């Protein structure tokens, strides 16, 4: 799998993966708007010319807010999400980010496990955050400029 910056031609496949991954998807045009954002960073996993996943974040000064990570259901369990997340965080570290935050559905055990691999830990709960009333766990990781964190990213 090759990991490349998001481009306009990736968006239809990203929208299809988004629809297959989440009960409520981003609205049409959301990814296009992100392309024009000065703070948005999106990476796309491409295997044999096919988009298999993506990860995105907003990077502002020394903070990263992970906005979305999604993997095509056909290739889940193959560490696609982990590799995309590593690339996303690696770029953020290169630009001076020191910490990252995200929200994840409390029922999404696979995603929580992946985030924990990168050192994210729960720091809060957003009650009834999602459209179906499910809570979001707020996860945070700091010390991203330390050698141990950089080494973790380089392994992937």
Closest CA to 35 of 25, 44, 45: 44
For the stretch 13-24, what's the b/e string if a residue is b when 16 or more beta carbons lie within 10 angstroms of its beta carbon? bbbebbeebeee
Range of the domain at 96: 2-155
Going residue by residue through the chain (156 aa), what tens digit of pLDDT does each one get? Answer: 999 999 999 999 999 999 999 888 787 789 999 998 999 999 999 999 999 999 999 999 999 999 999 999 999 999 999 999 999 999 999 999 999 999 999 999 999 999 999 999 999 999 999 999 999 999 999 999 999 999 988 877
pTM, whole model, 2 decimals?
0.93
Q: How many domains does the chain have?
A: 1
Integer Cα distance of 40 and 66 in angstroms: 10
Give yes or no for a contact between 37 and 71, defined as CB atoms under 8 angstroms apart: no
- CATH of residue 17's domain is 3.40.630.30
């Amino acid at each position: 799998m090759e990991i490349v910056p998001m481009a306009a031609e990736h968006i239809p496949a990203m929208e299809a993966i988004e629809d297959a991954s989440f009960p409520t998807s981003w609205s049409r045009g959301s990814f296009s708007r992100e392309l024009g954002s000065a703070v948005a960073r999106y990476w796309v996993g491409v295997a044999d010319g096919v988009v298999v996943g993506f990860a995105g974040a907003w990077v502002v000064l020394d903070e990263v807010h992970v906005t979305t990570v999604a993997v095509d259901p056909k290739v889940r369990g193959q560490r696609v999400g982990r590799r995309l997340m590593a690339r996303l965080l690696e770029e953020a570290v290169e630009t001076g980010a020191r910490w990252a935050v995200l929200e994840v559905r409390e029922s999404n055990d696979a995603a929580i496990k992946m985030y924990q691999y990168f050192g994210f830990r729960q720091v809060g709960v957003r009650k009834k955050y999602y459209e179906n009333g499910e809570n979001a766990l707020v996860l945070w990781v700091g010390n991203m400029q330390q050698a141990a964190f950089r080494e973790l990213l380089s392994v992937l």
